[in-house]
Amino acid sequence: MDAIKLIVSEDDELNRLDKFIAGVYEDITRSQLKYYFDEDKIKVNNKIVKPSYPVQIGDEIIIEERNNRNNYLDAEDIPLDILYEDDDIIVINKKSGMVVHPAPGHYEGTLVNALLFHCSSLSDLGGGSRSGIVHRIDKDTSGLLVACKNNKAHRFLADQFKNKNDIERYYYAIVSGVIPHNLGKINAPIGRDPNNRQKQAVVSGGKEAITHFEVLERFHNHTLIKCRLETGRTHQIRVHMAYIGYPVLNDPLYGIKKQTTEFGQYLHAKTLGFIHPTTLQKMSFDSELPIEFQEKLEELRNN
């Protein structure tokens, strides 16, 4: 039976095992994880351990599927918006609502499933469930993401993301409230919310997190901003904007309230730049805002 494999890296937040897995797979609940532990479906370095096991850098975590499926990583013919592709990398404009990689209980319809169908090979440094994946964006965030077809390219790009060397990331967001100043920098550490494990928060002792933003357009009760990330923490823009009182519109986790639309939060990874792993040339990609995002902007301009 196939299984999900995770390798604990230097970039991961070290914690007890159950909290670590829950941090990687935000859609799985603690009660769901309990069933995996009760059935000895989770092993660390090929040994059965308790949920309280403290993970260490280099640990290999195996999560076996609980049902009788023979292959949790099915290649699926899912349309992809591909901006660029060669023998090393593929750049995709991910739609809102698509999960980047499979997680326990969620094995279909992800970007990895689509990549497995489209690409003849993908890197495997992140484990089978994260084939090709160097970095992630949230399920309900749309926009640009680069995946790798081989381990050499993966290592090269992973080093860029880790050290912030030559990585260029710009996001567009619609936030609630009217921001009075044109430019801003948020330097506030982010970690797990002590009151809600499904959320991140600005906390003392959290990891360094820096977000720059620029106001592009103001509306009656909202603002369109452009954000630049210096760091890449989980939910960073969503947490930071909520922290200063201007949460991303339609954000069900950090926003004022869930709006009456099926579209996710109005946050789009618009620009992505990096050094190519083979040519060593700087590459930069820009993407169109989703139609739902554009329609919301027109609605705000007309109100």
Write the CA distances from 179 to 243, 246, 267, integer angstroms: 13, 8, 17
Q: How far apart are CA 227 and CA 249, in angstroms?
A: 15
CA distance 94 to 114: 11
d(CA 41, CA 274) in angstroms, rounded, equals: 38
Q: Identify the residue whose tokens are 């603002």.
A: 223
In this structure, the chain runs to a length of: 303
Chain centroid to CA 282: how far? 23
Q: What is the DSSP string of 188-237?
A: --EEE-TT-TT-EEE-TT-B--EEEEEEEEE-SSEEEEEEEESS--TTHH
Does residue 12 carry a catalytic annotation? no
- Count the helices and strands in the chain (H runs, E runs): 6, 15
Catalytic residue among 88, 138, 140, 251: 138
Report strand pairing: 210-218 vs 183-187.
antiparallel
**Spatial CB neighbours of 100, under 8 Å, sequence gap ≥ 6:** 94, 110, 111, 112, 133, 136, 137, 139, 145
* Structure tokens, 220: 């009656």
Instruction: Give the Cα-Cα-Cα angle 207, 50, 103 (nearest 5 degrees).
Output: 60
State the catalytic residues.
138
